[in-house]
Amino acid sequence: MPDWPIQKLKSLPPLSLYVHFPWCLKKCPYCDFNSHEIRAEENRVPEEEYVAALIRDLESALQDVWGRRLSSIFLGGGTPSLFSAQAMDQVLTAVRTLLPLEHFAEVTLEANPGTFEAQKFADFRQAGINRLSIGIQSFNPLHLQALGRVHDDQEAHRAVDIALKYFDNINLDLMYALPGQNLEQAQADIETACSHGVTHISAYHLTLEPNTLFYRFPPKLPDDEQAAAMQEMIEQTATSYQYRNYETSAFAQAGKESRHNMNYWLFGDYLGIGAGAHSKISFSDKIVRQMRYKHPKEYLAKAQTGDSLIQTQQELTVADRSFEFMMNALRLSGGFDASLFQERTGLPLVVVQQQLDEAEQRGLLVHDHLRIKPTVLGRRFLNDLLQIFLPEKAPSNNALKLQP
């Protein structure tokens, strides 16, 4: 790729906040996120110490985002719902004190069915959380067992019932192409999710990620043809229930798209605090990525001694900017405004003109001077489409936990 000059950004993109809570009741065998099982001898999360560390983390990050408004907050993990509503209230109060929020900002809490208590979730709502994302994964007890989940199908249904009592904006997180799963079972899962009438559903293809138990000891999974049939069935079923497939794995009722994830897809900025959290922050003359110290003990130790919580920081190159923009924005079914590329990257669209032309010739996307969007074929073979934009040397740090 030629060494194109980077122009200063005329305006900064929207800013989101991601807060990472790294503990779980049990580490799932497919999970490669920064999550850590609560030790039996401890039998608790270090709530007070961790909340103090998060607030210190946010205070130290203010110099990079001073005066910018937050469009969304995502409390993710791990299992954030292991923490008390009082802890979440402390964190959100600190956020509101230090940074202005947009009116009606989306505030999402990630929760797992094994941690649901009615009063606790009423208190979460009172603390200012206005959206829940529930890690159901499946409503089938055998598949939940195969995935190593701590909840069963009855707890999954109960969690949704409790959530619907206190929240009117709810995402259900599902997975498909599970060990031993057939098309009819995958259909039962998506139909059950849709029938609950929640505002948003995420449906992810189970993949075997390095550094997971499933990667070391692979279970027997549906083949590619079966998985593709499941994906197509999920899209058709969700559409029949009036959900719009606005992003590769996301389905929403009208106007209920995840604002937090939309900011990711459109190359917006996000500040990540907490153990192992990633940030992408734009300045007029540069875009930087940061990662906090990953292990909770090291993160807490750094916070208590007053040391910097940032383990790595790098400035995005021309190749990083163009690829990462396309890698995210081409996940959107409706594509993106062509002018947004230069607005968010500081680069003219001609930087990727050759790749755009190749992708269009292969029938993977359509583009003009107004809009760029993947075709049906491009959405089905998204990895092939993104491969076209991959630079000779891929970005060294584009890790991002996609939030449901």
Residue 295 in any domain: the answer is no
pLDDT in tens, the chain (404 residues): 556 778 899 999 999 999 999 999 889 999 988 999 987 656 689 999 999 999 999 999 999 999 899 999 999 999 999 999 999 999 999 999 999 999 999 999 999 998 888 899 999 999 999 999 999 999 999 999 999 999 999 999 999 999 999 999 999 999 999 999 999 999 999 999 999 999 999 999 999 999 899 999 999 999 999 999 999 999 999 999 999 999 999 999 999 999 999 999 999 999 999 999 999 999 999 999 999 999 999 999 999 999 999 999 999 999 999 999 999 999 999 999 999 999 999 999 999 999 999 999 999 999 988 999 999 999 999 999 999 999 874 443 333 444 55
Residue 196 in any domain: the answer is yes
Distance, CA of 85 to CA of 359 (rounded, Å): 48
Distance, CA of 195 to CA of 204 (rounded, Å): 19
b or e along 308-328 (b: 16 or more beta carbons within 10 Å of the residue's beta carbon)?
Answer: ebbeeeeebbbbbbbbbbbbb
Tell me, yes or no, whether 258 and 324 share the same domain.
no
Tell me the residue range of the domain where 360 lies: 318-390
Tell me, yes or no, whether 243 and 375 share the same domain.
no
Q: Which two tokens stand for residue 3?
A: 């060494």
Output the domain CATH number for residue 79.
3.20.20.70
How many independent structural domains does the chain possess? 2
Residue 288 in any domain: the answer is no
Distance, CA of 99 to CA of 57 (rounded, Å): 13
How many CB atoms neighbour CB 259 within 10 A?
Answer: 19
User: Rounded to 5 degrees, what are φ and ψ at 219?
Assistant: -80, 165
Tell me, yes or no, whether 212 and 113 share the same domain.
yes
How many CB atoms neighbour CB 125 within 10 A?
Answer: 17
3-state SS, residue 78: coil
Specify the length of the chain in residues. Answer: 404
Residue 93 in any domain: the answer is yes
Tell me, yes or no, whether 152 and 51 share the same domain.
yes
Please name the residue that has the structure tokens 């009438």. 197
> What does the DSSP 8-state code read for residue 225?
H
Output the domain CATH number for residue 336.
1.10.10.920
Tell me, yes or no, whether 349 and 260 share the same domain.
no
Biggest alpha carbon–alpha carbon distance for the chain: 61
Looking at residue 295, its amino acid is H
Tell me, yes or no, whether 231 and 342 share the same domain.
no
Distance, CA of 201 to CA of 245 (rounded, Å): 9
Please name the residue that has the structure tokens 């709502």. 125
Residues 6+ apart with CB under 8 A from 64: 271, 281
Looking at residue 159, its amino acid is A
